[in-house]
Structure 1
Amino acid sequence: MKKNDKAIYFLHQCVNSNVLEKIIEYETAKEAWDVLATSYASDKQTKKVKLMALRRQLRQFVNRLTVLTNQMKCCGEAVTDSLKVEKVITGLTPKFDNLVAAIEQSKDLDTLKLEQLIGSLEARELKLKNRDGFKKDEKERKRM
């Protein structure tokens, strides 16, 4: 009973007020944890939809970048592919730091085309997705 009280206390302390509203009514830490797990664990279909949406956002970002750079060129600005690549690389989340480091080491950023960079980023996303799916499958097999 004492361990349960301590666990429920820590759960309440670690979540923000919106999440606390979801678990405040449960008396055992197990029940509260199950609610949190259900709320934040997403199934394969949800992850697939999120990944598709993120890819679409990346494509929209690249398209917007292309439109803006074309407009800049029309106004007399010299916009190179290396500038576009730099803008994309600096806008990536820390999740891509390893990939960015590998690209910087292996490729000449002055000659790298934007399409090549986007292809590398999408390939990395697919690889991570496949790896996550493989890890989940392994966990499920171990449970059985």
Structure 2
Amino acid sequence: MADFSSSVSGIEKLNNSNYNNWSTRIQYYLLGQDLWDIVGGSNTTPPTNDSKLRKWNIKSGKALYVLAVIVEDELLQHIKSAKTPKEAWDNLATLFARTNNAKLQCLENELLSISQQNMTVSQYFSKVKSICEEISKLDPENAISETRMRRIIIHGLRPECNGIVTATRGWANEPTLTELENILANQEALDKQISKVTIKEDESALFSNKRGFKGQNRNRAGARDGKPWKSHGEWQKQIEET
């Protein structure tokens, strides 16, 4: 029993966000312990034969123990009143089916309205991929394909990216999603470099214009009665001579 308990303790506990992975792992674990038949197999109801019932009760106790110790405390209330392992398992499946449906709807809505806006290309691609992966985990039978993901990403790109996307459609082999991300990210980096150079040139031109403007003002301020502007040294020399 000690070995059995220690092996169970190494399994990640069920929480509000890992049901799909957890249910897969625990199913394999129960199969390995010869307990799955009374949880989700062909032996889920107690037998009428006394000798078989005794064995079934032993296995049932082990299976219920496993399910009880590998769920977080806040989820224990959903299985503590279950009379059989199957009832406990079904309670959890029903609970997370409802939870997953609500979460799935939120993710689908987010995906329909997503756009790049102020995100970088890498941030935007990562965001869309993350949402698609979550949806695929919650609904494996309707996993989002790369083709659909590509359409979603392209639809939400900023307008300045449309030219590059259109150009790639004329290629003999259309780029993969990863290749498209690299192309757009490289163009984004190039645009930033060009923008920095343009800003520096504009600042340099503005600085030159200001210097010229100050020089003109000095000439105007120094001229009196039609006389040209003189430097401080020239005025000093004139005073000494007089």
Give the TM-score, by structure 2 length. Answer: 0.32
Relative contact order higher in (CA < 8 Å, ≥ 6 apart): 1
- Determine which structure has the larger helix proportion and give its number: 1
